[in-house]
Structure 1
Amino acid sequence: MVIPPTAVFDGNLKLDCGVVIYGKFRGTLECAKGTVIIAPGAHFSGRLSAERIAVAGKVGDPAKAAKDSALLIASEDLQIGDGADIHAVIRAPLFNIPMGAKLNSSVIKSMLGTGAG
């Protein structure tokens, strides 16, 4: 599924596949399988859960506390791009923070997806 650059999605979405967000998404996004990509120029706020998450755009609202702005839960892996701007709570078993990324977040390394609870 693709959220195009001019789209603004407000609401809740549950899918069995991945999503590429080029526009704005506010709400809850649950992807049972696949990767959610927040592309450069895209903006996400709300709750996102997926096997894999890749962020190159903006997540959250710096005017709010990270815990009230966005929550990213990746059961396998979270990829953060150089140009990412993240203001959120992050929960993932694997992630890397590149030098160019802006990260104002609470980071929780979880064992989701690794067989441990």
Structure 2
Amino acid sequence: MWAYLGYSMSEQEPMFVAKEIMSQLKMSKVNGFPFFMYSGAREFVGGDKFLQFRIPNRKRIAKIRVVLDEARDLYNLEFYKKKGFEMKKSKSIDGIFFDQMAEIIVRELGIN
């Protein structure tokens, strides 16, 4: 498919992974609400094998990064908190399946 469009997979892969993570989280429901509405996530940044977003008005967690672990076909979650003008990694959860991701994020945010 990518060859048909004139692109190699290596040129499109970074944004493809970020868009795939975003679409999977969009389909997730938490207590009957769409994940992004329930969590208040905004300011999305996609990159090479990750999607990052900000969570407003939370003391414990300010930013979340979802990273694809290609070797195991699982996801890793990285939680960051704001310390002054810097972001410090506060917690990391490795090796989770997609269907667990929204529940784990909401639990870590403490809004469930």
Category of TM-score, reference length = shorter chain: under 0.3
- The structure with more helix, counted as a fraction of residues: 2
Instruction: Normalising by structure 1, report the TM-score.
Output: 0.21
- The structure with more strand, counted as a fraction of residues: 1
Instruction: Normalising by structure 2, report the TM-score.
Output: 0.21
